[in-house]
Amino acid sequence: MEKLKQRRSGGFTLAPEAASERMRRIINKFIPDEDIINTTREIYRRGWTTIKLYFMIGHPSETLEDVQAIADLCKRVIAEGRKVAGWKVKLNAGVSTFVPKPQTPFQWVSSDTRESILEKQALLKRELFKDKSIKLSWTNPDDSLVESWLSRGDRRLAEVIYTAWKNGARFDAREEGRKFDTWMAALAEHGLDPSFYTHRQRRTDEIFPWEHITAAVRKNFLFQDFRMSLEGQIRVDCRLNCFACGILPTFANLRREHPGEGWKCPEVKTPARKMEMELPLVGD
């Protein structure tokens, strides 16, 4: 922090992701509340006047109490900042919507509903708009739905994307370019139910459209992480304890050829496999 202080410009950004310790355990990003408060206090004390905190709402295990915790934490941060730096301190709270992604432990869960997200956003607006020193930003629920379709869609979505593009969907991430009705019409034209991709809990044995693409991490390992999240269990840093996720054997040859501490993994001890290939004779 002292080194950053020499080139201080703009705000200081932190991403606790969740505001309750319970939710931070579920997403395997456990940080005690007091650590966040102490850190933000020191940031303000060292001369930064604006802190940006990033959160997510919409996780299937989330309750309204967890959303309220976002507002409460923001109020605590700004209050502590005023104690050490006065009323000039500001806080920007960015609250995006959780969209389950492929090749992650939450690829089995459903996305939150539009109605639920709007209710949670309304709660945050009621709580945080009262303080002019706190700036709240959020994600349009329609944008999150489109993101859900594109993130976990199957090959049938290819025609939907092409149809939506032909009918004018271009820069949907921009307010002026958003054409949610165009996407809904494209899904209907191809006989697809959008809730199949967004609001459906996946079976534990479901074969996903992206399974032919490897991320080196085993599906069983991801499911173990998912089960642990339901119980609020966290994994320690894998540099301290290898959990056999699948990455090490996948990159064994590369790590064997280029050893070193940069991998932050145990050294490869198995010998290299000999690859034998028999080429066919001309005319066979």
Q: Is the pLDDT of residue 221 over 90?
A: yes
Exposure string (b/e) for 213-227, b if CB count within 10 Å is 16 or more?
eeeebbeeebebbbe
Residues 243-260 have a mean pLDDT of 84
* Domains of the chain, CATH where assigned: 2-156+192-262 (3.30.750.200)
Q: How does the average pLDDT of the chain come out, rounded? A: 89
Please report the pLDDT score of residue 8 as a whole number.
60
Burial degree of 68 (CB within 10 A; 0-12, 13-18, 19+): middle
Please report the pLDDT score of residue 248 as a whole number.
81
What is the torsion angle, in degrees rounded to the nearest 10, for the CA atoms of residue 107, residue 113, residue 117 and residue 119? -150
Beta bridge partners of 94: 54, 137
Comparing 90 with 266, the larger pLDDT belongs to 90
Written in H, E and C, the secondary structure of 21-46 is: HHHHHHCCCCCCHHHHHHHHHHHHHC
Angle at the Cα of 214 from the Cα atoms of 212 and 215, rounded to 5 degrees: 150
Please report the pLDDT score of residue 120 as a whole number.
98
Residues 98-105 have a mean pLDDT of 95
Tokens 């054997």 belong to which residue?
249
Residues 171-191 have a mean pLDDT of 89
In the DSSP assignment, the letter for residue 271 is: P
Please report the pLDDT score of residue 258 as a whole number.
85
Please report the pLDDT score of residue 91 as a whole number.
97
Interval 108-137: pLDDT, tens: 999 999 999 999 999 999 999 999 999 999
pLDDT-based confidence at 219, cuts 50/70/90? very high
Least confident of 113-127, 145-159, 195-209, 270-284: 270-284
